[in-house]
Amino acid sequence: MTSKSCSQGCKIPLPFFYPSAEKLLFQHQTLVKFSNRHFFPNYESLFFALATQTEVKHLAMQLLVLLTVVLCSCPFSGASRIVGGREARAHSRPYIASLQIRGFHFCGGALINEKWVLTAAHCMEDTPVDSVRVVLGAHNLQRPDSLVQEFRVQESVQNPEYNPTTFQNDIHLLKLNDSAVITSGVRTIRLPVPNSDVAPRSNCSVAGWGDINDFGTSPRALMQTNADIISRQACNRSWGGAITNTMLCAATPGVLAKGFCSGDSGGPLVCRNRLEGAVSFSGRFCGNAMFPDVYTRVSSYLPWIETVIRQN
């Protein structure tokens, strides 16, 4: 179990705070039936989730969190932003997709042409494709929007070399059951230049509807934050050699918490208006610069992407 200090000096357990009973029940059912990875993109909280798959333990953990907060007088979060970021301007990222099951967002993605969305492989691992809906043109997921388009998944294609233990080749393609209509709220994003890489110190951005803190607080609207690329050599010093040439890393030294969080998995890392990465995994705490955020490097997979689209 991980914990985080409050200003009063007490400790609050981090995993598994659910803001509503409905969300608690849905995510409990999902944990039992499907993979946990798209809800918990970091190793420690993933391990904790796998170890606590009964409703009694879920409820006990939620009660423990609430009791600790009352005793410590520590508010959960007054921030209305992705970790260290801010709300995006409505429809300013028309390529972004929300992957949902029964109306609940669980992962992000990016529209790369009118019929295909790119996401992370761990998002779709053991996930029932028939239950997934791909939502485009959204900003606030809790409000009706005339620009929203919703699709079922016709084809779900995981990279054949995906490794769920190391998150190597963490990339997946979803073919929509119909072509997206290009509007002011729905557009495709350009893929990277073949064989290109993103240089260290490049300033990119990431966006999503994932949690805005380690307590599991979900935003209503799309959030965004900057992502400063660091070298793989520097990244590997934190990750013990797990980072390969097919990954990108981002961190912001000196900033306490800035980056992606649970629910942002599969979302787009954008550099100079190109889809350079897809959210893959992070460290113990969301936005912790000591353990840089890790993305799948999209340029490494262009031949595979082109082949899948051509053959399907």
- SS3 labels along the chain: CCEEECCCCCEEECCCCCCCHHHHHHHHHHHHHCCCCCCCCEHHHHHHHHCCCCHHHHHHHHHHHHHHHHHHCCCCCCCCCCCCCEECCCCCCCCEEEEEECCEEEEEEEEEECCEEEECHHHHCCCCHHHEEEEECCCECCCCCCCCEEEEEEEEEECCCCECCCCECCCEEEEECCCCCCCCCCCCCECCCCCCCCCCCCEEEEEECCCCCCCCCCCCECEEEEEEEECHHHHHHHHCCCCCCCEEEECCCCCCCCCCCCCCCCCEEEECCEEEEEEEEECCCCCCCCCCEEEEEHHHHHHHHHHHHHHC
Look up residue 118 and give its two tokens.
Answer: 């790119």
Cα(206)–Cα(163) distance, integer angstroms: 24
In the set 28, 170, 211, 228, the catalytic residue is 170
> Which residue from 282, 139, 260 is spatially nearest to 204, judged by alpha carbons?
260
Assess whether 265 carries a catalytic annotation.
yes
Assess whether 170 carries a catalytic annotation.
yes
- Asked if residue 111 lies in contact with residue 189, where contact means CB atoms within 8 angstroms, the answer is yes
- Residue holding tokens 């904790």? 48
In the set 58, 91, 122, 139, the catalytic residue is 122
In the set 45, 98, 265, 300, the catalytic residue is 265
Active site residues: 122, 170, 265
